[in-house]
Structure 1
Amino acid sequence: MAIADVAAPLGQGFHALAPGDLAAVVTALEMREPPASLKRLVPEADVPLQLVRWKAAEPAKYRLLYRRVGAKWLWWSRLAMDDAALAAIIHDSDVELYAVADRAGVEVGMLELDFRTGGEAEIAFFGLIPGATGKGFGKWLMRRALQRAWGREGVSRVWVHTCTLDGPSALPFYMAQGFVPYARFVEVFPDPRGLGLLGEEAPQVPVLG
């Protein structure tokens, strides 16, 4: 169906957003047991990356990496938090935060695991900066994520979510790693660029007006 005039009544199934809002379809995925691939020895000498645990990271340092990884996909929720609220999460003993660093020590990605719900591990944030994608490093990072998630005593479920603002390969990637979609919902939120939290890093999502 073509929408020729936004002032005209919308067809069934269409919902107008308030000026300045964005909407995304979110898919939640879960894994109820470790994939068999985690038990196999995988040579990784050629992967020029390492995970570096960030304990008690400064909020400003965290936001810088968060933005480098996620600005293209309009990650914004952590940018809207003040220092105290952000620190309460990333300094929690049941939250594990890692930077992905290259051989020169430059951070090129991030991994955040949230164990605050008993028996569960959420892959809260997972990603590489644009220049590090498309090289097969995502599989390496996911393997590391799952090893740590399933390595925590008492974990019986690992879950993650992605949305239609993420790269088109995100959902197929998670499914290929063994995650099974179990829920879908719509999230409506203010455009973070309109709030001044982000600039023009996501040209694939036009700013209206």
Structure 2
Amino acid sequence: MQSEFWDVPKGKIAAVVTHLQMFERPAPRKVPAVKAELIAHEKPDLTWYRDLFSRVGGHDWMWFSRLGMDDADLAAVIHHEDVQIFSVRVDGRDEGMLELDYRVPNECELGYFGLTAAMVGTGAGRWLMEHALEKAWEKPVNRFHVHTCTLDSPQALPFYMRSGFTAYDRQVEIADDPRLNGVLPRDSSPQEPII
């Protein structure tokens, strides 16, 4: 079988997106001791949110969707009564984020999940995922789902699968390169060349 190539227009980026889901809470896993707190943020400040979002995924992993939103659109999502925002706080500084979205009835989407570079390799990812699973299934949902893409950390997809999610769909997403329109600095995600 011959493979096919699809052109990506100049000024755009392309990512393969993998969708994952689970239909029941997996058995809790043992997690390492982490010196962190999970802090709930009701109606978080937009500047604080954008800063944490950028520090978790903006530079290394090209998280850009929320950074390109105007204040009203961003507030409509993160201040929605069916969206829960948490931070991972270490020594008074927020070093990770968890966003659970219940806006679709009977479902929870793991909207955003990540840690700053300072927390990678400390066991905080497993610790945070156990909190995510616990909180997601506290509500009467039938499905917990997430998506990740090839612009994210290469550790994300296998981590979600080890955490109990099963892949069920794959798509290609093409978007404006956020480094060319000022949403992200030009030196973001150096592993992805600007074309």
TM range, smaller chain? over 0.9
Unaligned runs of 5+ in 2: none
Give distance in 2, aligned partners of 1:129 and 1:201.
Answer: 15
Change (3 A) 1:117 1:174: same
Match of 1:4 in 2: none
Q: How many residues align?
A: 192
Give distance in 2, aligned partners of 1:123 and 1:19.
Answer: 31
Give distance in 2, aligned partners of 1:43 and 1:164.
Answer: 27
Give distance in 1, aligned partners of 2:189 and 2:15.
Answer: 14
Give distance in 2, aligned partners of 1:139 and 1:164.
Answer: 21
Shift of 1:121: 0.3
Q: Secondary structure at the match of 2:28?
A: helix
Shift of 1:177: 0.6
Q: Which of 97, 111, 121 is the matching residue for 1:110?
A: 97
Give distance in 2, aligned partners of 1:133 and 1:89.
Answer: 27
Give distance in 1, aligned partners of 2:145 and 2:20.
Answer: 6
Match of 1:155 in 2: 141
Q: 1:58-83, CA deviations, whole angstroms, 9 ceiling, x for partnerless residues? A: 21111010000011110001011100
Q: Secondary structure at the match of 2:37?
A: strand
Give distance in 1, aligned partners of 2:25 and 2:183.
Answer: 37
Shift of 1:206: 1.4
CA RMSD, 1 decimal = 1.4
Q: Which of 63, 67, 84 is the matching residue for 1:96?
A: 84
Give distance in 2, aligned partners of 1:163 and 1:26.
Answer: 4
* Correspondence 1:203 to 2:190: yes
* Correspondence 1:194 to 2:185: no
Give distance in 1, aligned partners of 2:121 and 2:6.
Answer: 35
Q: Which of 23, 36, 56 is the matching residue for 2:14?
A: 23
Q: Which of 4, 20, 34 is the matching residue for 1:13?
A: 4
Letter aligned with residue 142 of structure 2: S
Q: Secondary structure at the match of 1:73?
A: coil
Unaligned runs of 5+ in 1: 1-10
Q: Secondary structure at the match of 2:188?
A: coil
The sequence identity of aligned pairs, in percent, is 47
Q: 1:158-203, CA deviations, whole angstroms, 9 ceiling, x for partnerless residues? A: 0001001111111111000110000000000011000101111211
Q: Secondary structure at the match of 2:9?
A: coil
Q: How does 1:137-152 map to 2 (within 5 A)?
A: 137-152=124-139
TM-score (norm 1): 0.88
Q: Which of 95, 106, 113 is the matching residue for 1:119?
A: 106
Match of 2:55 in 1: 68
> Which structure has the bigger radius of gyration?
1
Give distance in 2, aligned partners of 1:77 and 1:168.
Answer: 19
